Amino acid sequence: MKIGLLACDFVNPDFLEIDGDIPEMFAGLIKHSKIDADWQVYRVWEGEIPSSTCECEAWFTSGSRSSVYQKEDWIRQFGEFITALHEDRRKTVGICFGHQMIAQALGGEVRRSDHGWGIGVREIEITTEEPWMEPSLKRVCMLFTHQDQVEKLPPGARLLGSVDHCPNAMFAMGTHMLALQPHPEYSRAYLRALIQSREAIIDHPTYQAGLDSLEQKPHREEPAAWLRHFLTS
């Protein structure tokens, strides 16, 4: 399988020694998911947009420090490509910023959360189980870091999972698009460094609770298996 990574950001050079850059993180996720795949990386934030949805068999989109509602050419072009992926029914997994763009591009609503930062290990309650969600879990713990979130799902979306601070944490469009607010590609070490670098802009109770939550081990094997089953179903 050839997978295209729509990279919408880059890792701070100070943190590269933890898990590498964004392509390395996603390569690790795919390896952990036991998917036999070749990678093509597109530096979307630099305006590198694929010319066709057929260039790859499946697609991942990364997170970003940007917001999907910002008026920048690359963000507009990225949204148009997400719409094309949906129209062509291409297998697509959107993570964080990618999750939000799937929602916005297809008619949903994204804005800055009234709850402030969502950071750390959070427990997602599974609201709808899909056939590819094997092994089955009623709740899954994953890593979060975001301020923006999906406030309104696009028409036709199926809500898959919710968190108290982020009700639309997981959703699907048809059998071809999966959108996740959490980061299955992150490690706790990387998220800890990211949170610590933002101490000055996160309120202290949220900051400390986020760091403390990293003592809890998130699910990793199960979401990795879900991704494999989703992409190959």
Active-site residue, 185 included: yes
- List the one residue out of 82, 91, 73, 56 whose CA is nearest residue 154: 82
Q: What is the mean pLDDT of the chain?
A: 96
Q: How many domains does the chain have?
A: 1
Residue 116: CATH number of its domain:
3.40.50.880
Active-site residue, 24 included: no
Q: Which residue is catalytic, options 56, 146, 165, 185?
A: 185
171-216 tens-digit pLDDT: 999 999 999 999 999 999 999 999 999 999 999 999 999 999 999 9
Domain that holds residue 202: 2-232
Does residue 32 carry a pLDDT above 90?
no
How, if at all, do strands 166-173 and 177-180 pair?
antiparallel
Contacts of 122 (CB under 8 A, 6+ apart): 141, 142, 143, 144, 163, 165, 166, 182, 213
Q: Which residue is catalytic, options 146, 183, 219, 222?
A: 183
| Confidence (pLDDT) at 207 | 97
Q: Which residue is catalytic, options 8, 56, 96, 166?
A: 96
| Confidence (pLDDT) at 127 | 97
Q: pTM of the prediction?
A: 0.96
Query: What distance lies between CA 78 and its chain's CA centroid?
Result: 15
Does residue 54 carry a pLDDT above 90?
yes
- What count of residues does the chain have? 233
C-alpha distances in angstroms, 76 versus 10, 48, 65, 101, 102? 19, 12, 16, 10, 12
First to last CA, the chain: 13
**Which of 35-39, 139-143, 150-154, 165-169 comes out lowest in average pLDDT?**
35-39
| Confidence (pLDDT) at 35 | 87
The runs of H, that is alpha helices, within 44-96 are 73-87
Active-site residue, 56 included: no
